[in-house]
Amino acid sequence: MLGSVRSKAFRAGELLSYTVGAILTGFFMVQLAQGEVERRGGIAEFERMARNDAELPVGLYSGAHPARDTHSDPMRSPSQITPESFDWGEPDMSLWAPGRIDDYKASLSAELPPLLGVLEIPSVGLKVPVYSTSTDLTMDRGAGVIDGMAYPHEEGNIGISGHRDGYFRVLKDIQLGDQVVLQTLDGTKRFTIGMTQVVEIDDTRLLRDTREQTLTLVTCYPFYFVGHAPQRFVVTASLD
């Protein structure tokens, strides 16, 4: 009889452990889903506002320096940014590789992930849409947020990558102290470039999260390397 009691107690304890584990797992999944819903909700609200507001002036993709572009307005509200606003022309491809130009044209008919903002570096004439992920497709069309790093409307280290033979080839001409304008879901943010560095392909130290808001731009290096580039060119900018 004593063995039977112990067996029942063991089974009861085992059942209790399973129940507690299931409850904790369910709680974790609910919290995870809630966080994802909130993030997607913010993106959806951004795009809803975009559809209800005026479109950006023609010339966003022109690649012209703002001093020579009468349509340029770095204070433009991010609620006016919409994917349709980028459909009227092509970027300045004078520095682009022929293959990258073909990839860009092919991307025009592809379905893209959410648009999170616009990145602009006036000193080199860069103005590029920023998408929610950094796949080859999104970087053919613009630039993308590096997986695991902060989105443009979030705190922390905002990581954005682009192709070295496309939009981000102009990064070869940037200087310390150059200004970066980032239109986001929360408004316009301004950064100052404080460091550029060439790192090995597996060196991710500069991608770590930061206490203060930081903008990190990443592209392959050397800029004119034939084949798979062995290094990365990293630009670090601090919030003004």
Residues with a catalytic annotation lie at 163, 220
Enumerate the β-bridge partners of residue 115: 131
Q: Is there a contact between 148 and 158 (Cβ–Cβ < 8 Å)?
A: no
- Using only C-alpha atoms, the chain has a radius of gyration, in whole angstroms, of 23
* Cα distance between residue 158 and residue 215, in whole Å: 5
* Backbone torsion region of residue 63, taken as left when φ is above 0, otherwise alpha when ψ lies between -120 and 50, otherwise beta: left
- Tokens 């130290």 belong to 205
Q: Is there a contact between 134 and 216 (Cβ–Cβ < 8 Å)?
A: no
Three-class HEC string of 89-123: CCCCCCCCCHHHHHHHHHHCCCCCCCEEEEEEEHH
Which is nearest to 115 in space by CA: 18, 183, 203? 183
